[in-house]
Amino acid sequence: MRLLVRLLGGMSLAVIVVTAAFSYLEVQEERTRLEQDLQRRAVLAADAVREAAEPLVARSARTGYERVLSRFGRRDRGVAIYDEFASVIAATPDVKAHLGPLSPLVTEAIRDNVTVRRFARVGGRTVWTHIVPLERDDRIIGAAATFLDADYLDTREWDLWRRTAVRLGVLILLLTAITWLLVRWTVTRPIARMAEWTKRLKFGEPVAPPPDADASLFGPLAGEVTGLARSLARARVAAEEEARLRLLGEQIWTEERLKQFVHMRFGTHPIFVVSNREPLSHVFEGKRIAELRPASGLVSALEPIMTACGGVWVAHGSGDADRAAGDRVGLPPSDPTYTLRRVWLDAEEEAGYYYGFSNEGLWPLCHIVHERPQFRAGDWEHYRAVNQRFADVLLEEMEKAEAPIVLIQDYHFALLPRMIKQARPDARVALFWHIPWPNVEAFGICPWPEEILLGMLGADLVGFHTQIHCNNFLETVERMIEGRVEWDDFTAVRGQHTTHVLPFPISIAVEEDLDDRVPHRDALLAELGTTADFLGVGVERLDYTKGLPERLRAIRRFFERWPEYRGRVVFVQIASPSRSRIERYQRLQREVRETIRKINEELGDRDWRPIVYRERHHDHREIAAYYRSADFCMVTALHDGMNLVAKEFIAARDRDSGVLILSRFTGAARELREALLVNPYDIEDTAGAIKRAVEMSREEQRERMARMRSQVREHNVYRWAALLLAELGRMPRSASAIRD
């Protein structure tokens, strides 16, 4: 209410000042106009009187004046005729009795031979006096005066002011009414709704935020309140989940538990994550900047940890609108808890470090998929330089942090641990290698093995998904560089520095409350323009390690061997384009498209296509709809460090049914034993698994899925992070830097 009063007070004052100023000018203008009109009339009348009276006065006539007076005198115009001594010869009756005080004016006109004009008071009224001298033969013989009533000037002025006041009153009334309505609609009501919403949230009701109030007015406030509400809701869900698990006596790792653990273990020391792929890219959609969550298992795994623990995530700014969005961004956007620090690379650096050495060299080197690695000295130089660039940015970020915790991700940064440890011996550095590590013979073809291994051994802890990759790595170290490998405790020792090499199978964050807004199966099938008794799904980046051509061959084989399923089974393949500048990836894309086209052409008919192919980036919710609607999911990677799609499929199911067909060459196959494990190179084996999947009884599906669900729930990404951080926390803080 006080706001309204102040607002209206201010506005009314402004209206009064402006209206009064303009009205004053208007009144002055009108008055000048009226005065000019009065004077013009006075001139005309005085001249006429002068002409009529001059001959009479000149010859000192005794009569004839009455005629002049009656001719020119009127109710609003008095006339007087004077002789040369300023004595009244004749005057109209209305002024006659009041002429005394005007004598000095008449004397002035006669004496100075000038016309005298001014306002004067005559008989209690304001009059305009106009006195002209009378002449004969260049001699002043008297004067003629006219007195025009000027009282109406004041009356007209007051009328104008009165009208202004009425106008002002109406304006203020109108303004008050409109402002009151506007304030009520756009301010008071939304605020009241927000207050009500916050109150209900406080009591734990899961209410949706009120519909957006005027964003330009309430944007920041609404954003803050929404963020606060989300934090509250998250904290509440976490606390409820904790309480539930405590009651059940379960020891499942949750976001909240991880947060407390990190706080207890490392105090307020921030965590620094480094990865090539950023957790969120900004991209231009026309002129608008949109946010894009990349298709990356690494991002799915680390995002919840950073959200829980806070800190700084250093990554390559690869979105085309990233620079416009800034090199430091608070994430998640709705409720920031950590900072993304972007590192900029030019096209040449990206080509050498990312496309070249990382993805044409190390990627095929580490995956046993019979793809020949390409090693170019120029790429290697870029790889080194970019590792140094990330080291510089990271060191700058952790300048003020004491004993920082550094979690380096993946094969893009083999050299980074050593660079960091050399500059900051107090830092505790872990390197997690998200892809497999090959055996020593395979690794031996890399032209720079020593530098890579020494770079990695700069870390206090090197993690892989499986023990077998740890063993391969330690064996490579043992055979290729100087130093000692302790097989009892899985360490590599060089000089004063020890590196622990341990398995940490990565996972995902399992949501207990599944998003019920994702489209249901019927809606999804309708959108795909198909019907199906059985729906299969595959979700991956378009990468030759994922075994897509093999999977497609297996699907074709399935329909050939069991034609009764034609028209009844539909397989949806979601493929997110990846590393498309590399020729091998382009070739794969062509091969996949062509194979699908042929299968659909040869096996499909007018009403049914065996394979629906969706080649574009899909967001989390879109993918969740496929996972949830499918009867089976195929993960047939030829070689994979872990493969989080397998775990995501299990976590997304809202009922204990559905079948996972999983390549035995993935890290996930070691944990998800209830999946139908296949050798993706064996087409008959995989085709048979599809048949088993569609024919599996509900009961068997439920049993298998229930076991896999509890495996994924218990071995979630919070547990992965906790184990890795606990291990890192156990490492002694080195006092001296690693020497060359």
Residue 354 Cβ vs ligand F6P, minimum distance, rounded to whole Å: 7
Identity of the residue, 259 or 541, whose beta carbon is nearer to ligand F6P in the bound complex: 541
**Cis-peptide into 220, omega within 30 deg:** no
Task: Select the span of 4-12, 296-304, 421-429, 697-705 touching ligand F6P (CB under 6 A).
Answer: 296-304
Residue 410 binding ligand F6P, by CB under 6 A: yes
Residue 298 binding ligand F6P, by CB under 6 A: yes
- Beta strand segments in 62-160, E: 77-83, 88-91, 116-122, 125-136, 139-149
Per-residue contact string for residues 184-223; x = within reach of ligand F6P by CB under 6 A: ----------------------------------------
Residue 299 Cβ vs ligand F6P, minimum distance, rounded to whole Å: 6
Residue 583 Cβ vs ligand F6P, minimum distance, rounded to whole Å: 16
Residue 297 Cβ vs ligand F6P, minimum distance, rounded to whole Å: 5
Residue 303 binding ligand F6P, by CB under 6 A: no
> Quick one: which of 277, 469, 551, 609 contacts ligand F6P (CB under 6 A)?
277
> Quick one: which of 146, 254, 281, 296 contacts ligand F6P (CB under 6 A)?
296
Secondary structure element (H or E) that encloses residue 419, with its range: helix 416-423
Query: Length of the chain in residues, anyone?
Result: 740
Residue 507 binding ligand F6P, by CB under 6 A: no
Residue 435 Cβ vs ligand F6P, minimum distance, rounded to whole Å: 5
Task: Report the SS3 class of residue 441.
Answer: helix
Give, in order, the Cα–Cα distances in Å from 418 to each of 156, 405, 407, 486.
94, 14, 13, 20
Per-residue contact string for residues 428-467; x = within reach of ligand F6P by CB under 6 A: ------xx--------------------------------
Q: Rounded to whole angstroms, how far apart are CA atoms 594 and 288?
A: 35
Both tokens assigned to 612: 């629906």
Q: Which residues contact 237 (CB under 8 A, 6 or more apart)?
A: 512, 513
Dihedrals φ, ψ of 679, to 5°? -95, 110
Question: Which of 523, 369, 366, 536 lies closest to 452, judged by CA?
Answer: 366
Identity of the residue, 72 or 353, whose beta carbon is nearer to ligand F6P in the bound complex: 353
Tell me which residue has tokens 């199911």. Answer: 653
Residue nearest to ligand F6P (CB): 296
Residue 338 Cβ vs ligand F6P, minimum distance, rounded to whole Å: 18
Residue 666 binding ligand F6P, by CB under 6 A: no
Q: How many residues bind ligand F6P (CB under 6 A)?
A: 12
Q: Which residues contact 630 (CB under 8 A, 6 or more apart)?
A: 535, 536, 537, 572, 649, 658
Task: Select the span of 166-174, 177-185, 294-302, 420-428 touching ligand F6P (CB under 6 A).
Answer: 294-302
Identity of the residue, 134 or 506, whose beta carbon is nearer to ligand F6P in the bound complex: 506
Task: Select the span of 31-39, 204-212, 293-301, 628-636 touching ligand F6P (CB under 6 A).
Answer: 293-301
Identity of the residue, 78 or 505, whose beta carbon is nearer to ligand F6P in the bound complex: 505
Is-contact 329 340, C-beta < 8 A?
A: yes
Residue 668 binding ligand F6P, by CB under 6 A: no
- Strands 311-316, 338-343: pairing is parallel
- Within 520-579, which residues bind ligand F6P (CB under 6 A)? 541, 578-579
Question: Which of 620, 630, 676, 621 lies closest to 653, judged by CA?
Answer: 630
- Strands 491-494, 88-91: pairing is unpaired
Dihedrals φ, ψ of 632, to 5°? -150, 155
Task: Select the span of 290-298, 497-505, 600-608, 669-677 touching ligand F6P (CB under 6 A).
Answer: 290-298
Task: Select the span of 237-245, 295-303, 545-553, 668-676 touching ligand F6P (CB under 6 A).
Answer: 295-303
Dihedral sign, Cα of residue 234, residue 237, residue 238, residue 239? positive
Give, in order, the Cα–Cα distances in Å from 329 to each of 255, 325, 539.
22, 8, 29
Residue 316 binding ligand F6P, by CB under 6 A: no
Both tokens assigned to 717: 């990404």
Both tokens assigned to 695: 């024919």
Q: Rounded to whole angstroms, how far apart are CA atoms 292 and 619?
A: 8
> Quick one: which of 270, 297, 361, 458 contacts ligand F6P (CB under 6 A)?
297
Query: Which residues sit at the interface with ligand F6P, rule CB under 6 A?
Result: 276-277, 296-299, 410, 434-435, 541, 578-579
